[in-house]
Amino acid sequence: MRVFYLWILAASLLAAQENVSTFSIAAYDPVNKDWGVAVASRYFSVGSVVPWAEAGVGAVATQANVNVGYGPRGIELLRQGLSAKEVLEKLRAEDAFDGKDGRQVAVVDRDGNIAAYTGPNAPNWAGDKQGKYWSAQGNILVGPQVVEAIGKAFEGTQGELAEKMWAALKAGDDAGGDSRGRQSASMLVVRKGGGRNTNNDRYVYINVDDNPQPFPELRRLLDMNLALLYQEKRAKLVRAGNLQEARVAAASVVRYAGTLPDSHISLGLLSYLTGDKASAVRELRIAHGLDPELRKHMEAMAKMRADYAPVLNDQEFMKQVLGEP
């Protein structure tokens, strides 16, 4: 008898896992040519199921009584040039699995056109809302205010797609989110050649798989991801001799990695070399507060980049930075 009850319990838990009950946003940025999906759920490793995207092609979010195959098949159809509406129609027409009327899916095509579907049997509360270049959707939510908050935050946030989607996802959670609680969150943003290192289109791909408070960890990972991207961009611009744009990239590194002395050192050096000594002093003083060995580290950087040497050779300037008489 005990074995029988254990079997019933296991079956119940398995059934509960069939629905990827969640809230998400699928979106497009026409300026940077980014496509992405951000998602959160009371479901283990939601990032392994819901978000799909390909640079220059589009994005798909598949959830609720989820047919995971909607993701890769949707991307394949988008790659063939079908519109978001055509892809959605074809996905549903081809779906031969049980539970078709409980699906929830959103598609963004290469031009930013949106198509979405929430089946009548998707677990309540379930629904979706669209705007220009975005679709918000969710199921087993506390109510429609979740998707409303997602859309409002997305449209009200400035900056790149990753930041807009973060704000949208956080707003959905603040509005009540998944009625069962929190467990995982994920963000995928693709940009042609925009990822780290060489030949990588994954601009952002971060996952919090199992955490009772996934949002602080997702934010930490996003900050780290963006800091690394802007570090690479800064380095490329410096090598190309474009110091003004390199300084802008360096400021973004400070925004995302402001506790690291190296980020302030780089911004300080570039501020000096672009003629803004007041800003250079400020940044290098912050770096000195974080790193008492500032001069040593600046000397090491100057050995790697000869154009940094004038900063160290400016004795009056260095006295201001180090607080020397």
pLDDT, one tens digit per residue, over 149-177 is 999 999 999 999 999 999 999 999 999 98
Total structural domains within the chain: 2
Cα–Cα distances (Å) from 258 to 219, 228, 229, 253, in that order, read: 14, 12, 15, 7
What CATH code is carried by the domain that includes residue 260? Answer: 1.25.40.10
105: nearest Cα among 157, 68, 140: 68
Among the ranges given (172-186, 199-213, 278-292, 303-317), the one the predictor scored with the smallest mean pLDDT: 303-317
Cα–Cα distances (Å) from 188 to 25, 66, 131, 239, in that order, read: 11, 18, 20, 29
Report the mean per-residue pLDDT for the chain: 92
CB 47 within 8 A of CB 222: no
User: Are 145 and 288 in the same domain?
Assistant: no
pLDDT computed for residue 299 by the predictor: 84
Range of the domain at 278: 238-322
Whether 150 is covered by a domain: the verdict is yes
Whether 7 is covered by a domain: the verdict is no
- State pLDDT tens for residues 56-86: 999 999 999 999 999 999 999 999 999 999 9
Pick the last residue of a domain from 191, 209, 227: 209
Among the ranges given (3-17, 218-232, 278-292), the one the predictor scored with the smallest mean pLDDT: 3-17
**pLDDT of 18 over the 60 cut:** no
Whether 226 is covered by a domain: the verdict is no
User: Are 74 and 205 in the same domain?
Assistant: yes
CA distance 273 to 280: 9
pLDDT computed for residue 325 by the predictor: 66
User: Are 169 and 253 in the same domain?
Assistant: no
20 band by pLDDT with thresholds 50, 70 and 90: low
178 band by pLDDT with thresholds 50, 70 and 90: confident
User: Are 247 and 314 in the same domain?
Assistant: yes
Among the ranges given (1-15, 100-114, 138-152), the one the predictor scored with the smallest mean pLDDT: 1-15
User: Are 58 and 105 in the same domain?
Assistant: yes
User: Are 257 and 315 in the same domain?
Assistant: yes
**pLDDT of 17 over the 50 cut:** no
Q: Taking residues 118-124, report their average pLDDT.
A: 96
